[in-house]
């Protein structure tokens, strides 16, 4: 089997290039069928937090498989789901103790939308239905989650079929060339939410949703601290729900179990997936505060559900993943390894003027390539740096994740997010390969 010309296929994805066939994955590495090894520098799509092929998780899955792989939730409770819900709730801010399992991030966000709306109806706020989100952002592929997504290339074809939700700018303070302090910039962006609520009519606004640290949509965007504080105040002021999309940031990725903990945020609803089951099975969760869930249950129940919700095999895997995160102290490791990797990326920025910004926290890190660091002018679109740097790295056995977007202003950014188990050797391998790949890109395009 040749990895350059894979067999004909009936599958179709959006990647422009067929990829080699996957053979095995262990720890931070993946092998193709030709035996070529790749360091998974983006944990897939920021998914595999505990690393590939973890024996304890596989054993837990085997054990559950031998017992039962499916039991419909309306017919049977199951122990893995009960235990996973309990352990999940223990890791949440106080009061967020109601867990609703789903099969992925989009479903977690859809469930949050529906719960929020049902809460409004159940509590006599039936006029509230708008969920304000940010631009750029990504909240999922299904039409409800897409209506919250602030990324025109993904939403535009479906716009006539959706009721797009109001957007405020994501706090891209790193692009601002004003003289404001960080504190003032954070407040400036947070005030756009207040303005938008007033513009839309506060009585119609149900919730605000954000990725506390941006994912691929913004390239690991972190706002100034003042932003988070003010956002929480504004939500309180108007009695609107705060929904955190922690699909990518959750399960330790940012150096806390939830990114919310960095700013002591107390959301009403949280969406989890990706690292929550680390790719061992399709699994996600919507976790809600009891004050949101109770009125909905009292009014007759949550009108929503999926066939695979609370699947025993998926939950057994998820439980073993969370236990592994605790057992290996991976949240703390994300913090320390992330700080070391970020320093290395900043070192690359000193050597490569084409890197305009390094950002992120924990092991949710990214850098952005620019034509001019002073003005943050992006590279010309035609260069397609977001494609070529990924290819240079791929050739050298490193997987990274890229996007060309900044919402309105175009730019190339690259997510560097290895599994949380990555050690010093892996970090050194990532940095050396990135350096070689950047050198190749710079010399090819004369950057
Ligand atoms: N929300 C965020 C922040 C994401 O990053 C993603 C996926 O990238 C989703 C939601 C959607 O998750 P999924 O692709 O599992 O449906």
Three-state SS at 355 = strand
Cα-to-centroid distance, 299 and ligand 1 (Å): 30
Concatenated DSSP letters of 343-358: HHHHHHHHH-TTEEEE
CB burial of residue 192 (10 Å; 0-12, 13-18, 19+):
middle
Average pLDDT per run of 10 along the chain, which is 447 residues long? 58 71 97 97 98 98 98 93 98 97 98 98 98 96 97 92 96 88 96 98 98 94 97 98 98 98 98 98 98 98 95 98 98 98 98 97 97 92 93 97 74 96 98 98 94
Nearest to 50 by CA among 28, 80, 83, 81: 28
Q: How far does the chain reach from its first CA to its final CA, in angstroms? A: 37
d(C-alpha 295, C-alpha 304), whole Å: 15
With a 6 Å cutoff on the Cβ, whether 138 touches ligand 1 is: yes
* pLDDT of the residue at 6: 63
* Residue whose token pair is 């997010």: 417
**DSSP secondary-structure letter at 151?**
-
* pLDDT of the residue at 7: 63
ipTM of the shown complex: 0.99
Name the residue of 248, 284, 402, 417 to mutate for ligand 1: max ligand atoms within 8 A of Cβ. Answer: 248
Cα-to-centroid distance, 138 and ligand 1 (Å): 7
Task: Tell me the domains of the chain and their CATH numbers.
Answer: 22-53+329-445 (3.90.1150.10), 57-327 (3.40.640.10)
Q: Is-contact 98 290, C-beta < 8 A? A: yes
With a 6 Å cutoff on the Cβ, whether 106 touches ligand 1 is: yes
With a 6 Å cutoff on the Cβ, whether 211 touches ligand 1 is: yes
Three-state SS at 347 = helix
Nearest to 99 by CA among 292, 248, 279: 292
Against a cut of 0.95, is the pTM above it?
yes
* pLDDT of the residue at 18: 76
* pLDDT of the residue at 404: 83
Concatenated DSSP letters of 230-255: HHHHHHHHHT-EEEEE-TTTTTTTTS
* pLDDT of the residue at 2: 44
Name the residue of 109, 137, 140 to mutate for ligand 1: max ligand atoms within 8 A of Cβ. Answer: 140
**Radius of gyration of the chain from its Cα atoms, rounded to whole angstroms:** 22
* pLDDT of the residue at 406: 61
């Amino acid at each position: 089997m040749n990895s350059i010309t894979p067999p004909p296929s009936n599958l179709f994805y959006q990647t422009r290039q067929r990829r080699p066939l996957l053979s095995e994955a262990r720890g931070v590495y993946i092998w193709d069928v030709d035996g070529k090894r790749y360091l998974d520098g983006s944990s897939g799509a920021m998914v595999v937090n505990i690393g590939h092929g973890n024996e304890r998780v596989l054993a837990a899955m085997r054990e559950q498989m031998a017992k039962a792989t499916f039991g419909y939730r309306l017919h049977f409770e199951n122990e893995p789901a009960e235990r996973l819900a309990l352990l999940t709730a223990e890791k949440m801010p106080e009061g967020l103790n109601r867990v609703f399992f789903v099969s992925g991030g989009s479903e977690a966000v859809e469930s949050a939308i529906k719960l929020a709306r049902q809460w409004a109806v159940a509590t006599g706020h039936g006029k509230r239905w708008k969920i304000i989100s940010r631009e750029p952002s990504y909240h999922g592929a299904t039409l409800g989650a897409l209506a919250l997504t602030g990324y025109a290339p993904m939403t535009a074809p479906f716009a006539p079929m959706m009721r797009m939700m109001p957007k405020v700018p994501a706090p891209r303070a790193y692009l601002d060339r004003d003289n404001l302090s960080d504190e003032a910039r954070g407040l400036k962006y947070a005030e756009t939410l207040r303005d938008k609520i007033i513009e839309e009519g506060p009585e119609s606004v149900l919730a605000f949703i954000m990725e506390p640290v941006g994912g691929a949509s913004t390239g690991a965007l972190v706002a100034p601290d003042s932003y988070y504080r003010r956002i929480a105040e504004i939500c309180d002021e108007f009695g609107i729900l705060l929904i955190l999309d922690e699909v990518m940031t959750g399960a330790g990725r940012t150096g806390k179990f939830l990114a919310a903990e960095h700013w002591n945020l107390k959301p009403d609803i949280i969406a989890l997936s990706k690292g929550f089951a680390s790719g061992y099975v399709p699994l996600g969760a919507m976790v809600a505060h009891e004050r949101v869930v109770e009125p909905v249950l009292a009014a007759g129940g949550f009108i929503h559900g999926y066939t695979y919700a609370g699947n025993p095999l998926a939950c057994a895997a998820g439980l073993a993943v969370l236990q592994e995160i605790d057992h290996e102290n991976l949240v703390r490791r994300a913090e320390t390894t992330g700080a070391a990797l970020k320093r290395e990326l900043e070192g690359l920025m000193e050597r490569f003027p084409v890197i305009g910004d390094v950002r992120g926290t924990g092991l949710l890190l990214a850098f952005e390539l620019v034509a001019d660091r002073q003005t943050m002018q992006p590279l010309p679109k035609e260069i397609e740096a977001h494609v070529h740097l990924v290819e240079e790295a791929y050739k050298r056995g490193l997987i990274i994740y890229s996007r060309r977007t900044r919402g309105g202003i175009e730019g190339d950014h690259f997510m560097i997010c290895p599994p949380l188990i990555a050690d010093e050797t892996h970090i050194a391998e990532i940095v050396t390969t990135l350096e070689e790949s950047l050198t190749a890109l710079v010399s090819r395009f004369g950057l």
